[in-house]
Amino acid sequence: MTSRQAAIYGLSGLELTSDEIDYISKASPLGFILFSRNINNLEQVSKLVSHLKSFAQNGETLILIDQEGGRVARLRPPLVRDYPPAEVYGNIYNKNPEKALRAAYLGAVLMAKELLGVGINVDCTPCLDLSLPQTSDVIGNRAFSAFPEVVGALGRSVAQGFLHEGALPVIKHIPGHGHGAVDSHEALPIVEASLEVLVEDFAPFRQSNTLPLAMTGHLVFNAIDAENVSTQSSLLIEKIIRGHIGFDGLLMTDDISMKALSPDISITTHAQRALQAGCDVILHCNGEANEMFPLMEMLPKLTGKALDRAEKAMSFLKGNTSKISETLAEKEWRELISDHFPESPKNV
């Protein structure tokens, strides 16, 4: 893979502006992330993605999206199928684990096929956070369950579904957002739980520690590092994410423009601190030029272990040569979830 900037950027609209084209061609970032503001119809998305991929001189460009199902879905019917939130699979698991695991796997297979159809090759899912009484509503039904073993098993099934088709899943929000009582988009969650309690939050991520991509959460864990937000904590990244959890894949930040990170500090300083702490890639989502262009000018290229991890992640894009029939997968998936999630027409 040719040298790429250690960054993934959001974009301002349905097509690239002349300034975006100029900056992207110079920066050559690892990838881009799409949001609702970038989506009108499938033909337009496919055209935008092709344009983004054309900047890469050699090798793949990662094109990300948050397509979890439920309320977090940038592509919606009638463009794609209607998918349930993670909680639905957790509810099925409570009655029939085998059925739930198969349903989660097939749902991911179908979602991957739709995304790959327009050139999107990375989905920021599964959410491996626990659903606890104190968990912020920003997570809510995006979590599979309160039980680590259930979250871990279902998350692994979802990840395997994407990988089978040649799309990359992103486990999030490592090391766990379950004890975060506030929305990190708006404020900084301070977690007071003991390390003995937090081990439960870490458990689902340990079950998926061989997967290629993970996204941090912006929280402060007082039991680990009371001075630094997790994304900027070398202690937490080294001892918990790389150590206890054992994740050695490509580690990206959650959106570096979120309000959990102090607005009194520049976006470039936040990015520098995250890289110095051990994150491999900076994720910047809002598409605002006054933030994005300074980042494009200062962020480094991927080197060393970060480059190795990126190349390893890219290798998973090949998928399994034995693809699953979309028609058969959809039929079985709908039968498995029918009692918990009523059918919605595909209408693609």
What phi and psi, each to the nearest 5 degrees, are found at residue 260?
A: -60, -25
Dist CA 124 CA 58 (whole Å): 24
Helices (H), 166-266: 195-207, 234-236
Dist CA 285 CA 34 (whole Å): 8
- The beta strand positions in the chain, using DSSP E, are 5-10, 29-34, 62-65, 67-69, 72-73, 122-123, 168-169, 171-174, 190-191, 213-216, 220-221, 250-252, 282-284
Kindly list the distances between the CA atom of residue 196 and the CA atoms of 61, 244, 318, in Å, as whole numbers in the listed order: 40, 13, 39
Catalytic-role residue among 185, 248, 308, 340 = 185
Tally Cβ neighbours within 10 Å of residue 71: 9
Tell me the one-letter amino acid at 243: G
- Count Cβ neighbours within 10 Å for each residue of 113-129 and write b for 16 or more, e otherwise: bbbbebbbbbbbbbbbb
Closest C-alpha to 278, from 179, 175, 203, 156? 175
Q: Which two tokens stand for residue 110?
A: 């179908």
For 294, residues 6+ apart whose C-beta sits below 8 A from its C-beta are 267, 268
**185 tagged catalytic:** yes
**225 tagged catalytic:** no
Catalytic-role residue among 254, 255, 270, 280 = 254
Closest C-alpha to 216, from 129, 310, 110? 129
What phi and psi, each to the nearest 5 degrees, are found at residue 335?
A: -65, -40
Closest C-alpha to 241, from 188, 197, 278, 192? 278
- Which sequence positions are flagged as catalytic? 185, 254
